[in-house]
Amino acid sequence: MKIAMTGVSGNMGAEALRQTLALSAVRQVCVLLTPRKKNRQLAAGLQREYGSRVRMVWGDVADARACADLVEGSDYVVNMAAVIPPRSDADPAASEACNARGAAALAGAVKAMPKQAKFVHISSIALYGCRNQEHPFARVGDPLLISPFDMYSVHKLQAERSVLEAGLENWTILRQTAMLHPKILESNMSDGLMFHTCLNSPLEWVSARDSGYLIRRILERDGAGELGAFWNRVYNIGGGRHGRQTGYDTFRVGFAVMGGSPEEFFRPAWLAARNFHGVWLADADVLQGLFGYQRDGVEEVWADIARRHRAFRLASLLPPALITGTFFRRLLDHPNAPMRWRKEGDAARVFAFYGGEEAARRIPDTWEEVKLMAKGDFGDYDALRDEGRAAAEGRLLAHGFDDTKPPEAWTRADCVSAAQFRGGTFLSETYDGAYAPAQWRCHDGHVFTASPYTVMGAGHWCPHCAPMPWDFDRQAKHSPYYAQVWYDTHAKDEDVCYFLDADGRPSMRHTEGA
């Protein structure tokens, strides 16, 4: 078989390429690389190791001609190209080009093939937005509530819609969870992004190694004709129960590599109180059941990271106060750090990430006063991480119709019910199937076209209302679908619409409950 891949210079992509080339059935992998020095070096190494089994296509994923060259003659196309935070925060134009336009261009290239390849697109669980202890679990079909000013998620949402509505014969969208990789410590030591993490944000980790192995298993099993009804669905890539932590737990395990702890290195107020993105995944077992890809434990991966980074191990010999000053305190003044926004009076971002300056001041000064899921302050931590118990206790979100039925069994009545739950209307007089174009109207009167699967299966809604501006305070007042989770982290009397001004700066205005 012949495979086309993007994103092979990234952590997941490098693993996917290596493990795919281990399959004897793979004749050749065509990879798309931008012509940078680092990629030239990568290409030279691949050529030395694999020879003609790897073909380089030089260009940009947003370039339709480069995409057409890449996919020509391929049996499978795997899109792992992504500009991720913190680069997407600093360079939203690059994020839009790669994450949004790139996915659309690649889907278009596959659509134009005489014999269409099967298309695997990597998305992100960031689309579910901010969760906490109230509803820590997400599943495919949950509302996609992009956190204000999160341009990475905006562009990944647009990418998904391009794939879902492209009319491809065989596709799948895999929403990647938080990913552990060997460079995770060093890549987070030069930006204020780490301070966006909320202490009680549920994070379900998977290793880059396991993510790459998942791609191999998809190609391996489908190539052997073993997958059946796998295609034309959205799935969540998770690490399973053993990968479930919180923001606090992640800092605890990561900082242990440096011989310290969150209490020794941080102050609680340095971290955002909301507006992050992270979830545990109630349906991660679906992909695990098909492919058995979850092999690495979180603690084991961190131990491997510690072995690879002598500098961080040596840091454990230094006093914690010196570590704080050397590695962390200096980042509080980074342009992407919440404490910098507070100092500069950036009202929009302070409100988005804290609920306002007054709310930020109420964050406890000492760790003893902070309530933490990981320490049992919201109930038994192990019980909270049990997806089966979450389902039994009704802590999963509703979708507005009988979502236990497969898409093949949906009816027009299901569409009507789902639309009403979103505050809108299903307009099509007939129902032509889960993947056929249909007409919908949102609460604000926008009429749009989307397949029932895009809306009910994947969780998308009106493209005119979201993701920008971020108007969920107002929309949640009319949409039970949004309200059931938006109010976990936002007060019901908030009436803020977040947007970017003409210069691309974060801004806000009050909607006065319109």
pLDDT tens readout for residues 218-273: 999 999 999 988 999 999 999 999 899 999 999 999 888 888 899 999 999 999 99
What count of residues does the chain have? 514
Cα pseudo-dihedral 155, 157, 162, 168, rounded to 10: 130
Question: Would you state the pLDDT for residue 313?
Answer: 67
Question: Would you state the pLDDT for residue 257?
Answer: 82
- For the cut 70, the answer to whether the pLDDT of residue 432 exceeds it is yes
Query: Residue 106: which of 73, 72, 74, 68 has the closest Cα?
Result: 68
- Encoding tokens for residue 187? 């890549």
Question: Would you state the pLDDT for residue 299?
Answer: 82
Least confident piece of the model among 38-42, 56-60, 284-288, 320-324: 320-324
Radius of gyration of the chain from Cα atoms?
23
CA atoms of 324 and 90, how far apart (whole Å): 24
- Compute the half-sphere exposure of residue 362: CA atoms within 13 Å on the CB side of its CA: 7
Domain with CATH 3.40.50.720 in the chain: 2-179+205-238
Q: What is the 3-state secondary structure (H, E, C) of 218-245?
A: HHHHHHCCCCHHHCCEEEEECCCHHHEE
- For the cut 90, the answer to whether the pLDDT of residue 424 exceeds it is yes
CA atoms of 93 and 512, how far apart (whole Å): 32
CA atoms of 4 and 26, how far apart (whole Å): 11
- For the cut 80, the answer to whether the pLDDT of residue 188 exceeds it is no
Sheet holding 425-426, edge to edge: 425-426, 438-441, 447-450
The answer for residues whose C-beta is within 8 angstroms of residue 67's C-beta and 6 or more apart is: 32, 61, 105, 106, 108, 109
Class of domain 2-179+205-238: alpha beta
**C-beta of residue 446 within 8 angstroms of C-beta of residue 465:** yes
- Encoding tokens for residue 263? 């209490």
CA atoms of 114 and 324, how far apart (whole Å): 58
Res. 514 pLDDT band, cuts 50 70 90: low
